[in-house]
Structure 1
Amino acid sequence: MSDVEIRHLPESICMLKHLKTLQICNFWVIEQLPEEICELECLENLDIWYCTSLRDIPNSICKMKCLKYLSLFGCDKVETLPENLGCIECLEKLDLEKCTSLQDIPNSTCKMKCLKRLDLSCCDQVEILPEELGCLECLKELHIEGSGISRLPQSIYQLKGLRIIGSREQLESCCFTSLTYTTDYGDYDYALIT
């Protein structure tokens, strides 16, 4: 779905019980998602891109037990995420790139035992990460380029093999001195926890 002036998704969309992927792209005027979105019991991928009027993510999203990929790319009015976001047990990728109004990451995120990739690129209002982020044993990539993060929680250094992608200045402010430049990630440097 894209390029249509719809302020609210029809609640009937939540009747699609076997839907696995839902992409909501370029709905500039959509203001909210239906609270019943959790009824999409088989949903694995929820891509919400450039919905620039979207402000809130319903708490019911935390009941989506099959969700593996959640993207809020470019949803620049979203200020907060549901406190119980960590209840999405199967989530492997959380993409919050260009969520420029996002204030912080809920502590419950540290309960996501399957999370492999967390992208906070250009989330300039996010300045700190939850202290228990080191509990994310599967985390392999953390993107902080353009975020407000200048210090990492101490627990993160337990995550051997974690690739932290950001600007050289940002990574140096996080006390990384051995940095690698790669074109695989654009013009970014990265640090690898060993």
Structure 2
Amino acid sequence: MVEIRHLPDSICMLKHLKSLEISNCLLIEQLPEEICRLECLEELYLWSCTSLRDIPNSICKMKWLKYLRVVGCDKVEKLPEKLGCLKYLEKLELGRCKSLQGIPNSICKMKCLKRLDLSSCDQVENLPEEIGCLECLKELDIFSEGISRLRLPQSIFQLKGLRITGSRDQLQSYGFTSFTESYPGSLNLYAVEL
């Protein structure tokens, strides 16, 4: 089995590519800086790329991107500051990014964002103060198996119909007293709807 260490720069010439999934590429440390040349890309999935260190800033130029999933990428510490330029992004899934330090404030410009997954992102302590501006946001997953340090800003309570998923202890720590099992039979996964 050949381990892929980097994507060829020529991948950026696939101008009509709509979906790109990079899974279990344990040695990839970075994506090509010119990835923004994938002008038609709507879905980018980075799954268990455990050596990936960062997401290039140029990704913010991918104007048609709807789904960005960076899951199980343990070494990713930060996201591009201008991520909010992805104005058509509907799903931002960052589950199990154990080193992720925070979420850029610019995501509050994402008027189409419906789902934000921060499950097991235990280093993230704050959500942007203006997250209440995300009128389309319907799902927020903050489940943590360990001790969660995440603070919910007050503006989040403006998002009527938002479903927040987390552990029973997490939801109680935010003052929620009424919640339901998110998936019956699941281990300690509960949800509350604002």
Give TM-score scaled by structure 1 length.
Answer: 0.95
Report the Cα offset of residue 150 of structure 1: 4.3
Residue 192, structure 1, aligned to residue 193, structure 2:
yes
State the secondary structure of the residue aligned to 2:88.
coil
Aligned position for 1:154? 154
State the secondary structure of the residue aligned to 1:22.
strand
Aligned position for 2:180? 180
Aligned position for 2:4? 6
Q: More displaced, 150-159 or 86-95? A: 150-159
Report the Cα offset of residue 186 of structure 1: 3.5
Aligned mates of 1:180, 1:4 — CA distance in 2: 46
**Alpha-carbon contact 1:96-1:120 (below 8 Å) kept:** yes
Q: Which amino acid aligns with 1:145?
A: F
Aligned position for 2:15? 17
Report the Cα offset of residue 182 of structure 1: 2.9
Aligned position for 1:63? 61
**Alpha-carbon contact 2:89-2:110 (below 8 Å) kept:** yes
Report the Cα offset of residue 184 of structure 1: 6.2
Aligned mates of 1:4, 1:18 — CA distance in 2: 27
Identify unmatched segments of 5+ residues in structure 1.
none
Aligned mates of 2:143, 2:114 — CA distance in 1: 17
Aligned mates of 2:26, 2:5 — CA distance in 1: 9
Report the Cα offset of residue 151 of structure 1: 2.7
What RMSD in Å do the two structures reach over aligned CA positions?
Answer: 1.4
Q: Which amino acid aligns with 1:137?
A: E
Point out 4+ residue stretches in structure 1 off by more than 2 angstroms. Answer: 147-151, 184-187
Cα distance change of structure 1 residues 73 and 135 upon mapping to structure 2, 3 Å threshold = same
Q: Which amino acid aligns with 2:84?
A: G
**Alpha-carbon contact 1:150-1:174 (below 8 Å) kept:** no
Which of 101, 104, 115 is the equivalent residue of 1:103?
A: 101
**Alpha-carbon contact 2:148-2:170 (below 8 Å) kept:** no
Q: Deviations over 1:9-68 (max 9, x none)?
A: 101000000000000001000010001000001000000000000001100000000000
Q: Which amino acid aligns with 1:11?
A: D
State the secondary structure of the residue aligned to 1:72.
strand
Report the Cα offset of residue 148 of structure 1: 2.6
Q: Which amino acid aligns with 2:143?
A: E
Aligned position for 1:37? 35
Residue 142, structure 1, aligned to residue 140, structure 2:
yes
Aligned mates of 2:185, 2:5 — CA distance in 1: 35
Aligned mates of 1:185, 1:19 — CA distance in 2: 39
Aligned mates of 2:20, 2:184 — CA distance in 1: 28
Aligned mates of 1:182, 1:25 — CA distance in 2: 27
Identify unmatched segments of 5+ residues in structure 2.
none
**Alpha-carbon contact 2:66-2:91 (below 8 Å) kept:** yes
**Alpha-carbon contact 2:165-2:182 (below 8 Å) kept:** no
Aligned mates of 2:182, 2:49 — CA distance in 1: 31
- Percent of matched pairs sharing the same residue: 70
